Amino acid sequence: MERISASRWAMLVVLGSVVPVRAVRAASGDDSYSPPIRSASGEAELAMKRFHLAEGLDVSLFAAEPLLANPVCLYVDAHGRVYVAETFRHSAGVTDIRNHMSWLDDDLASKTVADRVAMIHKFEGANARSYATEHERIRLIEDRDGDGHADRATVFADQFNAIPDGIGAGLLVDHGDVYYACIPSLWKLRDTDEDGRADHEKVLQTGYGVHVSLLGHDLHGLRIGPDGRLYFSIGDRGLHVETEHGTIAYPQGGAVLRCDLDGSNLEIFYSGLRNPQELVFDEHGNLFTGDNNSDSGDRARFVYLVEGGDSGWRGAFQWMEGSYRRGPWNLEELWYPPFPGQAGYLLPPVANIADGPSGLTYYPGTGLSERYLHHFFLCDFRAEASISGVHSFAVEPK
User: Per-residue pLDDT tens for 321-352?
Assistant: 998 999 999 999 999 999 999 999 999 999 99
Tell me the three state secondary structure of residue 36: coil
Handedness of CA 262, 263, 267, 268 (dihedral sign): positive
Question: Measuring CA to CA, which residue among 394, 366, 365, 367 is closest to residue 378?
Answer: 394
Residue 352 has a CB neighbour count (10 Å cut-off) of 16
CA 359 to chain centre: 8
Contacts of 29 (CB under 8 A, 6+ apart): 154, 155, 156, 157, 158, 197, 198
Residues 72, 31: Cα–Cα separation, whole Å: 22
Contacts of 285 (CB under 8 A, 6+ apart): 225, 226
Query: Between vectors from CA 119 to CA 128 and to CA 167, what angle results, nearest 5°?
Result: 65
pLDDT score, position 20 = 30
For each of the chain's 398 residues, which pLDDT tens digit applies?
A: 333 333 333 344 444 322 233 333 433 444 678 999 999 999 999 999 999 999 999 999 999 999 999 999 999 999 999 999 999 999 999 999 999 999 999 999 999 999 999 999 999 999 999 999 999 999 999 999 999 999 999 999 999 999 999 999 999 999 999 999 999 999 999 999 999 999 999 999 999 999 999 999 999 999 999 999 999 999 999 999 999 999 999 999 999 999 999 999 999 999 999 999 999 999 999 999 999 999 999 999 999 999 999 999 999 999 999 989 999 999 999 999 999 999 999 999 999 999 999 999 999 888 899 999 999 999 999 988 888 999 999 999 88
Query: Between vectors from CA 337 to CA 331 and to CA 343, what angle results, nearest 5°?
Result: 50
- DSSP one-letter code for 395: -
Question: Measuring CA to CA, which residue among 8, 217, 251, 290 is closest to residue 116?
Answer: 251
**Contact in structure between 256 and 274 (CB atoms under 8 Å):** no
**Contact in structure between 275 and 292 (CB atoms under 8 Å):** yes
pLDDT score, position 192 = 96
- Quote the radius of gyration of the chain (alpha carbons, Å): 21
Question: Measuring CA to CA, which residue among 261, 65, 68, 278 is closest to residue 156?
Answer: 68
**Contact in structure between 188 and 179 (CB atoms under 8 Å):** yes
Residues 162, 164: Cα–Cα separation, whole Å: 6
pLDDT score, position 385 = 87
> How many Cα atoms are found within 13 Å in the side-chain-facing hemisphere of 383?
2
- Report the DSSP beta bridge partners of residue 208: 239
pLDDT score, position 12 = 41
- Cα 11 to Cα 37, 81, 152, 164: the distances in Å are 25, 16, 21, 35
Tell me the three state secondary structure of residue 129: helix
pTM beyond 0.85, yes or no: yes
Question: Measuring CA to CA, which residue among 240, 241, 234, 286 is closest to residue 255?
Answer: 234
Residues 216, 90: Cα–Cα separation, whole Å: 9
Architecture of domain 8-15+44-394: 6 Propeller (2.120)
pLDDT score, position 16 = 32
Tell me the three state secondary structure of residue 316: helix
pLDDT score, position 31 = 61
